[in-house]
Structure 1
Amino acid sequence: MLKLKKYAMFALALCALAAVPVMADEVAEVTAADAFAAADNALFTANNVWMMVATFLVFIMHLGFAMVETGLTRAKNSVNILFKNTAIPAIGLLTYALIGFNLMYPGFAEDSAGIFGFAGFGISSPEGAAGLIDYAGGGYAYWTDFLFQGMFAATAATIVSGAVAGRVKLGPFLIFSTIYVGLVYPWVGSWKWGGGWLDGIGFYDFAGSTLVHSVGGWGALAGIILLGPRLGKYVNGKVKAIQGHNMPLLTIGVFLLWLGWFGFNGGSVLSADPGLVSYVLVTTSLAAAAGIIGSMAASWTLQKHPDLTMVLNGCLAGLVGITAGADVLSVPWAVVVGLVCGAVAVVSVMVFDRFKLDDPVGATTVHLVCGILGTLFVALSPEHTIVPQLIGIVSYAVVCFPAAFILFLILKVTVGIRVSKEEEMKGLDLGEHGMEAYHGFQFFTNV
Structure 2
Amino acid sequence: MEAILQTNYALDTFYFLVSGVLVMWMAAGFAMLEAGLVRSKNTAEILTKNVALFAIACIMYMVMGYNIMYPAEAVNSWFPGISFLIGGDNSVESVLAGGDGAPYYSDMSDFFFQVVFVATAMSIVSGAVAERMKLWSFLAFAVVMTGFIYPMQGYWKWGGGFLDGLGFQDFAGSGVVHMCGAAAALAGVLLLGARKGKYGPNGEVHAIPGANMPLATLGMFILWMGWFGFNGGSELKVSDVGEANAVALVFVNTNMAAAGGLVAAMMVARILFGKTDLTMVLNGALAGLVAITAEPLAPTPLLATIIGAIGGVVVVLSVITLDKLRIDDPVGAISVHGVVGMWGLLAVTLSNADATFVGQLTGLGVILAWTFAASFITWMVIKAVMGIRVTEEEEYEGVDQTECGMEAYPEFTNK
- TM, length-normalised to structure 1: 0.88
Contact 1:313 1:345 in 2 (8 A): yes
Contact 1:318 1:339 in 2 (8 A): yes
Unaligned runs of 5+ in 2: none
Which residue in 1 is equivalent to 2:205? 239
Which residue in 1 is equivalent to 2:256? 286
Alignment partner of 1:396 is 2:361: no
How many percent identity over aligned positions?
A: 45
Which residue in 1 is equivalent to 2:16? 51
Return the letter of the residue paired with 1:140.
Y
State how 1:194-233 maps to structure 2 within 5 Å: 194-233=159-198
- Quote the Cα distance in structure 2 between the aligned partners of 1:384 and 1:208: 15
Contact 1:106 1:112 in 2 (8 A): no
Return the letter of the residue paired with 1:418.
R
Which residue in 1 is equivalent to 2:225? 259
Q: Aligned in 2, Cα 1:311/1:137: closer, same or farther, shift over 3 Å? A: farther
Q: CA deviation at 1:220?
A: 0.7
- Quote the Cα distance in structure 2 between the aligned partners of 1:314 and 1:112: 41
Local SS of the residue matching 2:105: strand
Q: Aligned in 2, Cα 1:47/1:180: closer, same or farther, shift over 3 Å? A: same
- Quote the Cα distance in structure 1 between the aligned partners of 2:43 and 2:93: 42
Task: Give the counterpart of 1:436 among 403, 407, 411.
Answer: 407
Alignment partner of 1:268 is 2:231: no
Per-residue deviation, residues 135-157 of structure 1 (Å, max 9, x unmatched): 99960001100010010011111
Which residue in 2 is equivalent to 1:317? 287
Contact 2:94 2:102 in 1 (8 A): no
Which residue in 1 is equivalent to 2:301? 331
Task: Give the counterpart of 1:156 among 106, 121, 137.
Answer: 121
Q: Aligned in 2, Cα 1:286/1:213: closer, same or farther, shift over 3 Å? A: same
Return the letter of the residue paired with 2:81.
F
Q: CA deviation at 1:118?
A: 3.1
Larger radius of gyration: 1
State how 1:315-394 maps to structure 2 within 5 Å: 315-381=285-351, 382-394=353-365
Q: CA deviation at 1:398?
A: 1.6
- Quote the Cα distance in structure 1 between the aligned partners of 2:23 and 2:99: 22
Per-residue deviation, residues 29-71 of structure 1 (Å, max 9, x unmatched): xxxxxxx112111211110111111011001000000000000
- Quote the Cα distance in structure 2 between the aligned partners of 1:362 and 1:444: 21
Q: CA deviation at 1:131?
A: 8.2
- Quote the Cα distance in structure 2 between the aligned partners of 1:375 and 1:136: 30
Return the letter of the residue paired with 2:13.
N
- Quote the Cα distance in structure 2 between the aligned partners of 1:127 and 1:313: 41
Q: Aligned in 2, Cα 1:169/1:383: closer, same or farther, shift over 3 Å? A: same
Alignment partner of 1:167 is 2:167: no
Q: Aligned in 2, Cα 1:112/1:118: closer, same or farther, shift over 3 Å? A: closer
Which residue in 2 is equivalent to 1:405? 376
Q: Aligned in 2, Cα 1:45/1:221: closer, same or farther, shift over 3 Å? A: same
Q: CA deviation at 1:442?
A: 2.8
Contact 1:68 1:249 in 2 (8 A): yes
Contact 1:114 1:191 in 2 (8 A): yes
Contact 1:190 1:196 in 2 (8 A): yes
Q: Aligned in 2, Cα 1:66/1:388: closer, same or farther, shift over 3 Å? A: same
Per-residue deviation, residues 81-126 of structure 1 (Å, max 9, x unmatched): 110000011010100000011100013x7x8750111362101126
Contact 1:92 1:181 in 2 (8 A): yes
Alignment partner of 1:70 is 2:35: yes
Contact 2:268 2:313 in 1 (8 A): yes
Q: Aligned in 2, Cα 1:235/1:54: closer, same or farther, shift over 3 Å? A: same
Contact 2:53 2:142 in 1 (8 A): yes
Q: CA deviation at 1:180?
A: 1.1
- Quote the Cα distance in structure 2 between the aligned partners of 1:136 and 1:243: 54
Contact 2:141 2:378 in 1 (8 A): yes
Q: CA deviation at 1:130?
A: 9.3
- Quote the Cα distance in structure 2 between the aligned partners of 1:140 and 1:444: 50
Which residue in 2 is equivalent to 1:121? 84
Contact 2:32 2:218 in 1 (8 A): yes
Q: CA deviation at 1:336?
A: 1.2
Contact 1:125 1:131 in 2 (8 A): no
Q: Aligned in 2, Cα 1:137/1:233: closer, same or farther, shift over 3 Å? A: farther
Q: CA deviation at 1:212?
A: 0.3
- TM, length-normalised to structure 2: 0.95
